[in-house]
Each structure stands twice: as structure tokens, then as C-alpha cells.
């Protein structure tokens, strides 16, 4: 029997891309997913008079929404001449991943997000037109007075597991309606492909509940936590001894601007120095320090080996950009 393949790609919405997808019915037994195309003039990726863009499959997994033999197919976007489209950040990530493959880079990414009522205005757990009680009881809470949208976090995690995505865990966050899941540790391309598919699954799962997912880094202004994508990183040598971790922190401290410029739009509203962040215009690293740009986890100092956590990337960051830059800066 024929089956459905959901082709997923990243569009050209500025300054923060959105995800798009469409369905292709393929003949029974197809394993080599064909190249496909789409109308780039409807996604900010091409002018109307020359609108064709190309979808090239890069990662596929079982489709946990449809089930059966159906699949999800993550794609990169190419120009009709088969070179990477300007919005394609994966191609450069693939080059760097290959160049530094011997370093065996691993990434574990903590994706935070905020759930909104279908109007896109009111976060789950916020009373209509007002605010809930101050932050404190919500993080990792249990109980209907402090938890909003657990059914979505649960359904999403199960969907990721069924799809074979390397999801590592979930937790309720500091602001009501805010959640997190982690993907990894995996190599730069693998974690990025899987994070994008897991984001698509999150939007898709939330549809069923008439809830909207926001990955805006500061969804509610004021005394409410922003949303980030803490990026945990190690190389083989960092997993074996401590000095390479310090060296990586020092290297990141010498290339601050290029990283900040590629760590997500609107991040200046989040990296204020409050709410467990360092200011966007300052750089620091430290053991256990959640107010630093880079945290070395306490256990890593005890073990004298392990990984570092770059706390700067925003929830809407592009993992192809972030993982490429971290590898380039620390291994280059």
C-alpha cells in the first residue's frame, strides 16, 4: 500500500524562520525519498517570477502522528541549480561537522518553549487579561494550580520517542505555561536535524489541543523568565580531561559577537543579567554559575572532565548555526 511522507523544511521568515511541511504519497517500499519542490514565493524564499525551490531529504523517521508506515522527512532547501539556498544553514554545518569529525563533538540542547491559548496572546496559566502569581512555584511543579499544558509536553515526548528522536527529558519551567525538553547528546548535524523535527512535532501535537507554541525568547515582558536553548557541548578531549573545557570557554570568550549575532532574534530582551542570564553585552564563564554566559556544571568540575553549557542561545535559535559556530570557534 502507498504511504504518506510529510516533507518538512525551514522557511525564509525574517528574522526568525518558521517551519513548513506538505504531504507526498509514495509507493509501497520506497526508502530512497525523492527530491521535491515548493513555491518559494509563498515562504519568503523566492520571487514570484522565479519561484521554484528544491527540497532535498536529509533525515527521516517514523511519523508518530499518523502511525503505520508513514514517515517524517526533514529536508534542506536548495536552489534549482542544486546549490544551497541562502536560507539553508545546514550545508555549512555539514562542512564544519565533516572537517572536525575527529573531535567527536556532541551536543545536548535544552529547548524551552511557551504554550499559548489559540489566540496567541494569553499564555496557558495566565488569567484572561491579567497575570498569575509571581514565579516560584511553577518550575518542575505538580498540581493543577501550578501546571498548565502537561498533556502537551507528555504527548510530545511520547511522539519523539516513537519517532526515534534522541529526546533526553522534559520539565516544567519557571514561568507558567513554559516547558522544556532536551535532545541529545548527538553530533552537530544529528542533533540539529532532530531538534528541528522535534519542534515540528511540538507544533503539530499542540494543534490537537488548540494550543499555540511560541519559541519567542521573551514571550512575556517584565518579571517573567525568558525562553532559551541552552547548548551543552563536549568534544572527545573535553570528555577525557578538564583543561580542554577551560580552553573551549576561553576560545568562546574571544569570539563573542559572531556567536551573539547568530544565537536567535530578540535575544536582547532575554539576556538582561536577570532571570538566570548574563547580560548580552558581557561574557563570563564559571562553575555552577547560572548567571554566566557559559556554565561548567558542578559535577564536571568534580569529575575533572565532561562538558560545558552555553546558556546564551535563545529558544528560537537555529541549531545548524549554533552548533557550527561552537565547533568552529573551539576546534578551529
- Say if strands 229-234 and 106-117 run parallel, antiparallel, or are unpaired: antiparallel
Q: CA separation (Å) from 42 to 73, 74, 78, 85? A: 20, 19, 16, 15
Determine the size of the site formed for Mn ion (CB under 5 A): 3
Is 230 a binding residue for Mn ion by CB under 5 A? The answer is yes
Is 156 a binding residue for Mn ion by CB under 5 A? The answer is no
Residue closer to Mn ion by CB (options 105, 175) is 175
The window from 6-14, 149-157, 193-201, 223-231 that contacts Mn ion (CB under 5 A) reads: 223-231
Rounded CA separation 211/189 (Å): 30
Near ligand ADP in 145-174, by CB under 6 A: 168
Three-point CA angle 101, 103, 105, nearest 5°: 85
The window from 107-115, 207-215, 217-225, 270-278 that contacts ligand ADP (CB under 6 A) reads: 107-115
Contact 206, 221 (CB under 8 A): no
The window from 44-52, 69-77, 110-118, 296-304 that contacts Mn ion (CB under 5 A) reads: 110-118
Q: In what order do the strands lie in the sheet with 3-10?
A: 19-26, 3-10, 71-78, 52-62, 36-39
Is 306 a binding residue for ligand ADP by CB under 6 A? The answer is yes
- Residues sharing a CB contact under 8 Å with residue 228, sequence separation 6 or more, in sequence order: 110, 112, 217, 270, 277, 311, 312, 313, 314, 315
217 binds, among Mn ion, ligand ADP, none (CB under 5 to 8 A by kind): none
Is 43 a binding residue for ligand ADP by CB under 6 A? The answer is no
310 binds, among Mn ion, ligand ADP, none (CB under 5 to 8 A by kind): none
Rounded CA separation 132/224 (Å): 11
Closest approach, Cβ 162 to ligand ADP, in A, equals 19
Closest residue to bound ligand ADP by CB: 108
Q: Which of 234, 278, 323, 330 binds ligand ADP (CB under 6 A)?
A: 234
Residue closer to ligand ADP by CB (options 268, 276) is 276
Cα 51 to chain centroid distance, Å, stands at 28
**Residue 195, all three cell numbers:** 531538534
Rounded CA separation 205/203 (Å): 6
Is 226 a binding residue for ligand ADP by CB under 6 A? The answer is no
Q: Is 274 left (phi over 0), alpha (psi -120 to 50) or beta?
A: beta
Residue closer to ligand ADP by CB (options 33, 307) is 307
Contact 294, 285 (CB under 8 A): yes
Is 309 a binding residue for ligand ADP by CB under 6 A? The answer is yes
Q: Which of 6, 11, 63, 180 binds Mn ion (CB under 5 A)?
A: 180
Is 182 a binding residue for ligand ADP by CB under 6 A? The answer is yes
153 binds, among Mn ion, ligand ADP, none (CB under 5 to 8 A by kind): none
Residue closer to ligand ADP by CB (options 112, 216) is 112
Q: Which of 110, 190, 216, 318 binds Mn ion (CB under 5 A)?
A: 110
Residue closer to ligand ADP by CB (options 56, 230) is 230
Contact 78, 53 (CB under 8 A): yes
Rounded CA separation 263/267 (Å): 7
The window from 59-67, 88-96, 100-108, 153-161 that contacts ligand ADP (CB under 6 A) reads: 100-108
**Footprint of ligand ADP (CB under 6 A):** 106-108, 110, 168, 182, 184-185, 230, 232-234, 239, 306-307, 309
Amino acid at each position: 500500500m502507498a504511504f504518506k511522507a510529510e516533507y518538512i523544511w525551514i522557511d525564509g521568515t525574517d528574522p526568525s524562520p518558521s517551519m513548513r511541511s506538505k504531504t507526498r504519497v509514495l509507493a509501497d517500499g520506497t526508502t530512497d525519498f525523492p527530491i521535491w519542490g515548493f513555491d518559494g514565493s509563498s515562504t519568503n524564499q523566492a520571487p514570484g517570477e522565479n519561484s521554484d525551490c528544491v527540497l532535498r531529504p536529509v533525515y527521516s523517521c517514523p511519523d508518530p502522528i499518523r502511525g503505520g508506515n508513514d514517515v517524517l522527512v526533514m529536508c534542506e532547501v536548495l536552489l534549482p541549480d542544486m546549490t544551497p539556498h541562502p536560507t539553508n544553514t545546514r550545508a555549512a554545518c555539514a562542512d564544519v561537522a565533516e572537517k572536525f569529525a575527529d573531535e567527536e563533538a556532541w551536543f545536548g540542547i535544552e529547548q524551552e518553549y511557551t504554550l499559548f491559548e489559540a489566540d496567541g496572546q494569553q499564555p496557558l496559566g495566565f488569567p484572561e487579561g491579567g497575570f498569575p502569581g509571581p514565579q516560584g512555584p511553577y518550575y518542575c511543579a505538580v498540581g493543577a494550580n501550578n501546571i498548565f499544558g502537561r498533556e502537551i509536553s507528555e504527548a510530545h515526548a511520547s511522539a519523539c520517542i516513537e519517532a526515534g528522536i534522541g529526546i533526553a527529558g522534559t520539565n516544567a519551567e519557571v514561568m507558567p505555561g513554559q516547558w522544556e525538553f532536551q535532545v541529545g547528546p548527538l553530533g552537530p548535524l544529528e542533533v540539529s536535524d532532530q531538534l528541528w523535527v522535534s519542534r515540528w512535532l511540538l507544533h503539530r501535537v499542540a494543534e490537537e489541543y488548540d494550543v499555540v507554541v511560541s519559541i519567542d525568547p521573551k514571550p512575556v515582558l517584565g518579571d517573567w523568565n525568558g525562553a532559551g536553548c541552552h547548548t551543552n557541548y563536549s568534544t572527545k578531549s573535553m570528555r577525557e580531561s578538564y583543561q580542554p573545557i577551560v580552553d573551549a570557554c576561553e576560545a568562546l570568550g574571544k569570539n563573542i559577537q559572531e556567536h551573539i549575532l547568530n544565537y536567535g532574534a530578540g535575544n536582547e530582551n532575554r539576556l538582561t543579567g536577570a532571570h538566570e542570564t548574563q547580560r548580552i553585552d558581557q561574557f563570563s564563564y564559571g562553575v555552577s554559575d547560572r548567571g554566566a554566559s557559559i556554565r561548567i556544571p558542578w559535577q564536571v568540575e568534580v569529575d575533572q572532565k565532561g562538558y560545558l553549557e552555553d546558556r546564551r542561545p535563545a529558544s528560537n535559535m537555529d541549531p545548524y548555526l549554533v552548533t557550527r559556530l561552537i565547533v568552529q570557534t573551539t576546534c578551529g
